Amino acid sequence: MKLLTVSALLCAVMVVTTVAGQHLVVKRFRHWYFGWSRYGNRYFRYFPFHYTWAEAQRHCQSMHANLASVHSLGEYRKIQRVIYRSTHSYPVTWIGGSDAQQERYWFWIDGTPFTYAYWCRGEPNNIGRREHCLHMNWTGLNCMNDKSCNYRYPFVCVKKRR
């Protein structure tokens, strides 16, 4: 009888330990994506701080993320919804495109191919030969525009699900 009681007690401790371990994993995952909005296997988050493009990228990197890249109109609209949910408007916002390495060769800072852009009409135009960074929600059309990287705007970061 004592052996049966000890066995039952041991099983109960193992179950509690397993459940507690799983709870910690769930809690860690929830902490990881809290405040981030999912689209496919990527998560986006809007930050209202007015930073230069480089400062914004550095802030994203501090969270193991990058300024957002955009790969489809659906993804662009998702990012706009993320911004709207925080601001109830569509402010001009930094995302991760740049042609600073070579004029007219656009890259995403996260290393993904630059195969989609929702440029405003006549953009990118590199006014003054100093517009090498990409922001979105330009003009009433809420499209993409090239801008000098030293302007200060809010920004959107992206990271993949771990």
Q: Do 8 and 83 belong together in one domain? A: no
Question: DSSP letters along 123-147, please?
Answer: ----GGG---EEEEEETTTTEEEEE
Q: Do 4 and 75 belong together in one domain? A: no
Token readout for 155 is: 């920004």
User: What is the tally of structural domains in the chain?
Assistant: 2
Q: Do 44 and 117 belong together in one domain? A: yes
Task: Enumerate the β-bridge partners of residue 47.
Answer: 155
Q: Are 160 and 40 in contact (CB under 8 A)?
A: no
- For residue 101, the enclosing domain spans 37-160
- Mean pLDDT over 150-162 rounds to 94
Label residue 146 exposed, middle or buried (CB < 10 Å: 0-12, 13-18, 19+). buried
Q: Do 49 and 107 belong together in one domain? A: yes
Q: Residue 118 sits in a domain of what CATH number?
A: 3.10.100.10
- Above 90 in pLDDT, residue 62? yes
Q: Do 21 and 56 belong together in one domain? A: no
Q: Are 105 and 96 in contact (CB under 8 A)?
A: no
Q: Please, what is the average pLDDT of the chain?
A: 86
- Above 60 in pLDDT, residue 13? no
pLDDT score, position 127 = 96
pLDDT in tens, 76-131: 999 999 999 999 999 999 999 999 999 999 999 999 999 999 999 999 999 999 99
pLDDT score, position 2 = 52
Q: What number of other Cβ atoms are within 10 A of residue 34's Cβ?
A: 8
Residue owning tokens 């990058």: 66
- pLDDT cut 90: percent of the chain above it: 77
Q: Do 19 and 48 belong together in one domain? A: no
Q: Do 26 and 91 belong together in one domain? A: no
Q: Do 17 and 73 belong together in one domain? A: no
- Label the pairing between strands 93-98 and 66-67: unpaired
Fill in the DSSP letter of residue 149.
T
Q: Do 82 and 6 belong together in one domain? A: no
Q: Do 85 and 137 belong together in one domain? A: yes
